[in-house]
Structure formats: C-alpha cells, structure tokens
Structure 1
Amino acid sequence: MTIDVHDNSGDVFRPNWQLKCIFAVVGLLNFVAALDATSISVSLPTISNDLGGTATEAFWAGTSFLVASCVCQPLFSLSSDIFGRKFALWTAVVAFTAGSITAGLSHAFPQMLVGRSIQGVGGGGIIALTEVLIADLIPLKERGKWFSIRSGTWALGTVTGPLIGGGFTQSSASWRWIFWINLPFCGLGLVLVPIFLRLKRESVPLRESLAKVDYVGCALFVASLTSFLIPLTWGGIMYEWSSWHTLVPLILGVAGLAGFAIYESMVASQPLVPIVIFNNRTVSANYIGCFLHGVIMWSVVYYLPLYYEGALGYSPVIAGVSVFPESLTVAPISVTVGIISAKTGSYRWALWSGWPISALGLGILYLLDAHTSIAKWVFLNLVPGIGLGILYPSVMLAVQAAANTKYLSISVTMTAFFRVLGQAVGVAIGGVVFQNRIKSEFQDHVELGKTAQDFAQDASSLVQYIKSLPVGSDERRLIEDLYAKALSVVWAVMCGVAVLGLVFSLLTKAYTLNQTFSSKQGLEVQASEPVDVEAKTDSRPESQISEATTVVGTFR
C-alpha cells in the first residue's frame, strides 16, 4: 500500500503505538547517556585516589567522553544513511555498553580512559541519531513538542547524575556502580531497538553505498578535530598554554579542519559534511547558537557543583541536590516552548527571549560567594535555568526550518555536534578563566602555601585540598573565598557568551514551520492503520523548497 505523507497548517498528526514505543526507547537511552556524562563529575576525586591517578588523568576521565562523543557524531549520521537508523543506533548502544563495562572493571587510569572514550563514542551516536530520528518521524511543526521529550529525559539524567554519583561516592557502595547502573538500561535498549525501530528506506546495494563514502573526508575530520580538542582539554593543566605540547596539535587541528572544509567543498563527490548546508544564514547563525549554548551549559554543569563543594563546603550528594533549582527548570521550560512553537508555528520569539534571560541569569551568578545563603543561591539559579531551557528547542527548530531537506539528516546531526563541541570547549574556557583568576588571587596572599598554588591548576583537585584543611581554619576560609571569586569570573565570561549568542540570533530569518513533511527512513506501518497526516501545499517560497519533495513511502 502506498500513501503520500504530507504536513501543513491545520493537519492532525496522530502518532501510532510504534512511534510512541520508539520515543520511549530513545528517551531511555538519552537518560542513561546524560546520567553517565554527569554522574562522574562529583566522583572524580575519589576515583583518582582509588586508581592512583593524577589530577590530569582525573580531568581526562570526564573530558574523554566529550571528545569521543563530538568526533563520532557525523560518522554515525553517515553510517545510518548507509546501514539504516536501526543498525546505527544499536551499534551505538553496544559501544556505550562495552565502554561502561570497561570503565567499571578498570583498575588503572589507562583502562578507565579507554572505557570512557568508548562510552563517548556510543553516547555521541545516541545523541546524534536521536536528532535524526525526530526529523525522520515527526513533521516540522510538531518537532518542538517531541524534541522536548528528548530534552526532558536528558535533563532528568543531567539532574540525577551528580546526585547518584555523589551517593555512590559517599556511601558504602563503590564508585563503580556509576557504570554498573547503566547496564540494565543498555540491556533494554539492545532488546527494544531491533523490535520497535522498523523503518522503511530505499534499498541500495551495500557495495554501491560503500563506494560513495567520503573516506578521505572522514579521516581528515576525525584526525583534525581530535588534534584540536585534545590540547583544549590539557592546556593549562597538563601543559602550559604556551607549551609546544599545546600549541602544535592545536594549530595542526585548526589547519586540518580548514583543509577538511576545502576538500569537502572542492573535491569530495559525496562529502561527509556538505559545505552547502552552511550557505543559509539562519542555519549558520543557529549552529553558532548551538555551540554557544553548549559552552554555557557544560560550564554550568561542571563548575556549579564544584562551587558548592569548594566554596560552601557541601558534600558531593548535597552539591548534586543544589543544582536542582537550575537543572529542574530546563525540562519543563523546554517542553513549554516546544508546545507554544507548535501552536504558533514560530520560533524566533524563543531565541530572542532565551538569550537575554540566559545572559541575565549568568550575570547574577556573579553574586555567589562563600557566604551565600541557601535561599539566595536557589533563586539566583532559577533565572539561567529558564533561559537555557527556552533555547534548547528553539535553536533546533530554527536550523530545521531553514535547512535544505536534501541534507536534513546531516543538518540535524550538526546541531547536536556543535552543542557537544561547545560542551568540550566550555569546560576548557572555564578552566582557563578559573586558573588565571585563582593564580592571581593567590599571588595577592603570600600566606598561602605552595601546595595550594599547585592545586590551583585544576578546580576539582583544589576542592579536595580545601576539604583536607581543618573546618573553620583561616586558610580554609580564605581559599573558599578565593574559590568563589575565581568562579564568579567564569559566570561573567559565560554572561558575555550569552550576549554573543543574542547577537547571532538576530540573523535568524522567519521560516514557517508548516512545511511539507519528507523522510528518507520513515515508519513501516500496517496497511490497516490510518493515514497519520493529510496533504496540503507547502507554504514556503519555491526558492526555499527547491530540494524538498514529498516522499511517497511504501508501507508493508
């Protein structure tokens, strides 16, 4: 049976049971990926002590996940086009499971770093393919609501991650349960993905598909991006920023990425990342928005719990609870924005309100110090949570509304890619600001010992030094004050980043969300099931839909 699949204003989109099951599985996988990415942050000092690791190795246990996740996302998008979304997502879950087991069994930091990197590969695949599946299965006008489901499960994992990590660290249970807790969720994913993710796609011989792969582009992309990200993570911690160990791979990475862009635009016949997707002003502006949103989000996720532990002296569990005022606002606000966008068919209002509110919220975090009361920090953290929650679905909708449907899967993947790239860069930016500020503060206080200055290279290791000092001692109170002052500069920098995001958002044009729905890999439904969407004419100008065609799918 053949059915034309369309969508436009006034049409009723009725999701069937299979679609709901798919999104339940996808939500589960996003929850566990977010849980793992954030739960380790409060446990790194304990893991470092147990495995005999250095501060650098402990830092890498967190950032290796982000680096691997960022590098692999476009590759998963490519593999899903060749082998299908189901196989690519199942492979990502396998990688995440293998990485969890490797990290959980580790008895030395090299093994831990291998496990975390493998987890990052799987996590990157889960994140990227979730975005692609939403674009494949949901008409654009409805995507805000369904994307909010993904945002909600991710936010839930982000909220509970530090709490669970801190609980395992403080209790008699081992920190290894941070990784073991992933396995039941991964097991469900491995079983349910093949059952429910039955999608139609054009049948192309494997040899023909593999012949079209941009192998040179893939190699250039992976090598160059890795060379760029690695020195960002160790700069100022393992090596000085002026050291050749940092500068050489950083320069090579930038040069390699420039070479990759030239190769993709002038040589590759089937490019991994078609440069043409950046030709649209709205798309490019909101890719930058995704990047800046990631910078801010991960700076907050990483450094805010350290503020509670280092400046206020909270335990890991209480520090995890303390991020609730901020993190718990992201999911409901994101859902609300998605629903309003679906009803109004517009998204620019969210961009132009989300960035100013985020800037305001990050700016007022500057008021946090070592003596901030509970009531004060609770209310201060609500504002940035609201702003960042508004931005979660709106930057995605802006990209997809303006994207050329011929390149929809890679266009959608790049939104996730730039957000994760921003997360990796955000931790590095926060680290540079913190190190420079804390060193400056220490130089003004000669009574601080050399040991404290050595620990100032890393915010996490300095927390452990502060906690080793006697409670109420002059040295501890002084360093707590300096710790809060140094982090206040981080919040000020992030406020500036949000203002930059607002500037770029002004380049966003208004595209209608009432667009013809096309999908390369849609649902396989039974002939007896009702048609989900009715046909109407796409209201976009012809110049905006020259590549967009209504897909006629064969349903079996």
Structure 2
Amino acid sequence: MEPALTSKNPISCLSVNTSATAMKDTDSKRSDEGLQSNLKLEEPTSRRKPASFWLIFAALIISVFVVVLEATSVGTILPTVASDLRISQFTWIGSAYQLASTAWLPLSGGLAQIFGRRPVMLASLTLFAIGSAVSGASNGEAMIFTGRTIQGLGAGGVYTLSSIILSDLVPLRERGIYNAMLGIAWSTASGLGPIVGGAFAQSGNWRWLFYMTIPCAGLSAALVLIFVKLPTPHGDLRSKFKRIDWIGNAIVMASATSIVIGLTWGGVEYPWKSIRVIAPLCIGFVGLGIFWLYEGLFAKHPLVPFYLTRNRTSLSGYVQTTLVSICLIGLSYYFPVYFQACKLASPTSSGVDMLCGALVIAPMSIVSGGMIMRTKRYRPPIWAGWALLTIGFGLFTTFRADSRVGLWIGYQVIIGTGFGFTYSSAYFPVLAPLPISANAPALALYVFFRTFGQIWGVTVGGAILQNGLVNRLPAAFYAQFPKGTNIAYSAIPHIRDLSEPLRGEVQTAFADSLAVVWRVYLIISAVAFVASLLMRGLPLHTETDKDWDAAAPKGSQGA
C-alpha cells in the first residue's frame, strides 16, 4: 500500500507534513506489504500508446539530445575558445553552466508543481536557446560566462521536466524501456558531442556549436506547445508565487555558488590552503547545512521535503546518482586530454577515439531497462554496473603515454557497460519507496544531485589534473605559462611542436597526472558500490499520478 500523504492537492505536494509517521520506514513497509496489497503488480499494465504520446516523447528525446550534445561537445572546444577569446579561467565555461543548471533544478521542480509542466518546459527551452545565442556571439569571457549561465538555467529545467513529464505519462514499472530510449538519446549525444565539438574547433567555427542548438530547441518547444496537454493547476499568479520557497532557493543557490568558486580557484588561482579557497568552501558547506535545517524546521512549502530521503533506498539512489555523475562528466572532460596530449590527437580525433566507450552505453542502457521491466528487480544491474566501473577505472590507472590502441578500446568498453547499467537505473531506487504523488519533488532532487555531481566531476577532476601537472611538468616548459592558467588546456597546443626528449617528458607528466584522476574515480566507484548495497528490493508502481494524468480533463486543475 502506498504511504498516504497529508494532502491530495498536487500544488501542495511540496508542503507535505514531513513529521507524519506515514513516511517512516517507508521502504520496509513497501517491501513487506507490497506483494500482498499490490497483487496487481503481477498483472500486465502495458497498453498501446497513442500517437500523441510518441510525439510528446519525441519532444523529450530531442530536448535531452540537444542539451547533452551541447554539454559534452564543449570540452573539446575549450582550448580553441580560450585562445580566441583570451580567457585564462576557462574552466568557468563548464562550471558556470553546471552551477546554473544545478541551482535551477530544485526550483524548476517546484515551479512545475505550481504552474504546470508545459509552461516550465517551454521557459526552460527558451532560456537554453537564448543562452546558446549569447554564447555563440561572445566576444570575451564576461559574455560567454553569461551565455553559459543562461544555457545552464535552461538545461536544468529541461533535465528536470523531461523526467517529470515521463513520470506523468508512464508508470514506474513500465518506465525502464522508456528511460533506456532516453538513455540512447543521451549516450548518442555524448558520443557525437566530442566529435562535433572537435570538428567545429578545427574549422575555427566553434560559435556554430552554440548556434546549431537553437533550431533544435525550437522544434522541441513546438512539439511541447502543441502536444503536451497535462493539466494546469488552479490559482492566481500571486498565490502561486507564494508557494515558492524563495528563501530555500536563495540559500541553496548561494551555497552551491560558493562551493564551486572554491573548487575552481583551488590549486589554479590560489593554493588550496589559501583563505580565498578555504573560506568559500566552508561558507558553501555551512550554507548547505543551514538549508537542510531551514527546509526541515521552518519552510512552509519546502523546496526539498525531508520525507524524500528518510528511507535508505531512496537515499542510496541519490548517493549513487551523485557519484555516477562525478565519474561520467569527469571522464567526458578529461579523457580527451589523454588523447590530445599523449597521442597528439586533434580535437575531432579525440572525440572519435572515445566513441567505442560512448556507443556501448546506449545498448547497455536498453539491456538494463529491459532487465528491470522483465524481472521487476533493479538491484542486479546496478550492482553489476558499479562492479564494472570499479574494475574499469582500475584499468584506466594503468594507462601510459604509449599505451596500445587495444588497451584503451577494451577498457572503454568495460567503462561504457558500467555506465550503461548504472546511470539511468539509479532512478528506480529513488522512486520505488515513495508515493507517486511525490514524483515531481523526488525527480527534481534526483536531477539536482545528478547535476551537482557533474559540477564536482568537472572542478575536482580539473583541480587534480592541474596540481598533478604543476608537480610533474618540466620546469622549463611549465614556466612559460602565466600564474593561474589552466595548464592542461593551455599546454596541449604546444606539445606537438616540442622536440625530444622534452615532448616525451611532457606527455609522461600528462599520463601520470591523469592516472591520479582515474584513481580518484576508482575510489568513488567503490564507495558507490558499497552505497548500492543499502538498497531494498521493492515493488515498482503500476500507476501514474492521476492528478497529472494527460487524459484527465483540463478543468480538473485549471485551464
């Protein structure tokens, strides 16, 4: 039996009484009672989907594809953008995007509950398109940082609303295959991103990487506008704005910003022991603590209801979501560095070299989703995925500057299989213990942790690589770069022109520094595997939230 919420109103879903005992030990209740009170779980629930469903789903796929393509292609154009715009702190091109995306995620989930799914999705796609235009037209670091921030706001909304809309249309029990389809879009975009970015970088037309996403966002927005007919909540604009947790949003945005500033400055602009690094990190983490206290004790309409993490299964899912995101984004940002520095590959070639891993993720996502739908069990593929990632990153630590082609192809296949099994599957332990009426806040928090993990993946991976290169590069070579420069991307264009033995020494420094990055991801994967052992095996919901049923009359909640 589903745990009862204190309110049936979807608008007030975010203000559920978190002190109610209905949510206590939710996962054990679902485990013990699920098979008895939900015998209909064994009944087939799948039915033929109408054309309107597939058009909505196409809009979600296009939205996810274009956002992920842009996000994963930026890593290969960073050296070119930095050179053209003369940017020294160009890690902020990635960090500004991730920061804005993360800050917007919890708010977008709340806005979707209050204003409806379609308006928030359309607003997110519009922001993404505007940010793309600003980024493409940039003539300096201030402008491109602004554009990437706006893009990140839009991307955060797209990520959240895609998951929420899918949950409104498909019950959790059937969602494995649809998650796998979204995973195909995501992994295909991830595989093509570095290649597309590299091609634009080599041709000198990197601005078109941003411009080309605008018509794609427009197409997706048109499909959403025409076909997404989910109900819109009642209420005037003033009362709806009162339901937004403005204080909670301000605290979490400020805290996340402070943490990212500390991570970005550490080891690059200032030493890690500098007060300029320690202070923002401490302020950020203290701020997150204050945020959780405020949400639990004072917020009238909490941004993150406490009941979402009061069971060990959902908590395990959130932890895994964060950790897999750290590893995945770190790999997509810093594995091209290996090919460009150690193999002297062009940006395009480095993207091609990563294809063998990226293209494995899609079929493995389908396998994972199919297993979950068929067996009704989400734990085995997750455990297998974390085991493969732990093994794969362990093998990555053995890479040297002269490692053979067969090694980095084979190791990528192992890594890609692990990501295919884990990245989308962590979604199931998050939702299985919770009532279906909690989908929106639960998924907003899920995407928040996923994107917050990506911030850590970019900044922590970059800090480790930077510090490794500072300590390992030949002094004569390192001395030519100004203080505060990101050594990795600044040094790559010069390596090909170096004579031996200096070139070999520089390439060895890169390989050894990257080995430390892979070692950290190995530890993270092992920790995530341990966290996955905390999950319970719970029944999967066979219904969608009737308050957000696409078939429901629009008047049920408002026009």
User: Match of 2:489?
Assistant: 460
1:191-270 correspondence runs (5 A): 191-270=222-301
- Partners of 1:132 and 1:409 lie apart in 2 by 6
Asked if 1 retains the 8 angstrom alpha-carbon contact of 2:169 and 2:544, the reply is no
Change (3 A) 1:209 1:447: closer
Provide the secondary structure at the position in 2 that maps to 1:473: coil
Change (3 A) 1:202 1:190: closer
User: Match of 2:97?
Assistant: 65
Asked if 2 retains the 8 angstrom alpha-carbon contact of 1:8 and 1:516, the reply is no
- Partners of 2:556 and 2:373 lie apart in 1 by 25
Tell me which moved more, 455-464 or 178-187.
Answer: 455-464
2:465 paired with 1:431: no
User: Match of 2:150?
Assistant: 118
Please tell me the residue identity of whatever aligns with 2:423: Y
Between the aligned residues of both structures, percent identity stands at 30
- Partners of 2:405 and 2:393 lie apart in 1 by 18
Please tell me the residue identity of whatever aligns with 2:193: G
2:181 paired with 1:149: yes
User: Match of 1:538?
Assistant: none
Q: TM-score, normalised by structure 2?
A: 0.89
Q: What RMSD, in angstroms, separates the aligned Cα atoms of the two structures?
A: 2.3
Unaligned runs of 5+ in 2: 1-38
Tell me which moved more, 126-135 or 238-247.
Answer: 238-247
- Partners of 1:377 and 1:452 lie apart in 2 by 30
Asked if 1 retains the 8 angstrom alpha-carbon contact of 2:109 and 2:443, the reply is no
Provide the secondary structure at the position in 2 that maps to 1:143: helix
Give, in angstroms, the shift of residue 183 of structure 1: 1.5
Please tell me the residue identity of whatever aligns with 1:15: K
User: Match of 2:472?
Assistant: 441
User: Match of 1:41?
Assistant: 75
Change (3 A) 1:65 1:413: same
Give, in angstroms, the shift of residue 503 of structure 1: 0.5
2:138 paired with 1:109: no
User: Match of 2:510?
Assistant: 483
Tell me which moved more, 254-263 or 236-245.
Answer: 236-245
Change (3 A) 1:26 1:446: closer
Asked if 1 retains the 8 angstrom alpha-carbon contact of 2:101 and 2:156, the reply is yes
- Partners of 1:323 and 1:367 lie apart in 2 by 17
- Partners of 1:447 and 1:228 lie apart in 2 by 33
User: Match of 1:520?
Assistant: 547
Give, in angstroms, the shift of residue 105 of structure 1: 0.9
Asked if 1 retains the 8 angstrom alpha-carbon contact of 2:388 and 2:414, the reply is yes
Tell me which moved more, 289-298 or 447-456.
Answer: 447-456
Asked if 1 retains the 8 angstrom alpha-carbon contact of 2:230 and 2:548, the reply is yes
Give, in angstroms, the shift of residue 201 of structure 1: 4.3
Give, in angstroms, the shift of residue 291 of structure 1: 0.5
- Partners of 1:17 and 1:67 lie apart in 2 by 37
Tell me which moved more, 43-52 or 511-520.
Answer: 511-520
Change (3 A) 1:383 1:194: same
Change (3 A) 1:136 1:283: same
Provide runs of 4+ in structure 1 moved above 6 Å: 552-556
Change (3 A) 1:50 1:222: same
- Partners of 1:518 and 1:191 lie apart in 2 by 25
Change (3 A) 1:250 1:520: farther
Asked if 2 retains the 8 angstrom alpha-carbon contact of 1:92 and 1:123, the reply is yes
- Partners of 1:477 and 1:49 lie apart in 2 by 24
> Cα deviations across residues 482-528 of structure 1 (Å, max 9, x unaligned)?
1111101211111111000001000001101154432432213799x
Give, in angstroms, the shift of residue 13 of structure 1: 3.0
Change (3 A) 1:240 1:13: farther
Give, in angstroms, the shift of residue 266 of structure 1: 0.6
Change (3 A) 1:345 1:266: same
Please tell me the residue identity of whatever aligns with 1:461: S
Tell me which moved more, 455-464 or 274-283.
Answer: 455-464
- Partners of 2:343 and 2:407 lie apart in 1 by 13
Tell me which moved more, 429-438 or 279-288.
Answer: 429-438
Give, in angstroms, the shift of residue 555 of structure 1: 12
Give, in angstroms, the shift of residue 250 of structure 1: 1.5
Give, in angstroms, the shift of residue 404 of structure 1: 3.4
> Cα deviations across residues 199-241 of structure 1 (Å, max 9, x unaligned)?
1244334333322222221221222222222222232222222
User: Match of 2:213?
Assistant: 182
User: Match of 1:3?
Assistant: none
- Partners of 1:489 and 1:108 lie apart in 2 by 33
Asked if 2 retains the 8 angstrom alpha-carbon contact of 1:525 and 1:555, the reply is no
Q: TM-score, normalised by structure 1?
A: 0.89
Provide the secondary structure at the position in 2 that maps to 1:44: helix
- Which of 346, 351, 372 is residue 341 of structure 1 equivalent to? 372
2:199 paired with 1:167: yes
User: Match of 2:87?
Assistant: 53
- Partners of 2:457 and 2:58 lie apart in 1 by 30
- Partners of 2:143 and 2:476 lie apart in 1 by 40
User: Match of 2:168?
Assistant: 136
Give, in angstroms, the shift of residue 296 of structure 1: 0.4
User: Match of 2:132?
Assistant: 100
- Partners of 1:311 and 1:252 lie apart in 2 by 38
Please tell me the residue identity of whatever aligns with 1:73: L
User: Match of 1:496?
Assistant: 523
> Cα deviations across residues 366-414 of structure 1 (Å, max 9, x unaligned)?
1221112222211121101101110022210111112233422111121
Change (3 A) 1:358 1:341: same
Give, in angstroms, the shift of residue 104 of structure 1: 0.9
- Partners of 1:349 and 1:238 lie apart in 2 by 44
User: Match of 1:536?
Assistant: none
- Partners of 2:519 and 2:105 lie apart in 1 by 31
Give, in angstroms, the shift of residue 447 of structure 1: 6.2
Provide the secondary structure at the position in 2 that maps to 1:523: coil
Give, in angstroms, the shift of residue 352 of structure 1: 1.4
Change (3 A) 1:205 1:41: same
Tell me which moved more, 195-204 or 298-307.
Answer: 195-204
- Which of 328, 338, 346 is residue 315 of structure 1 equivalent to? 346
User: Match of 1:90?
Assistant: 122
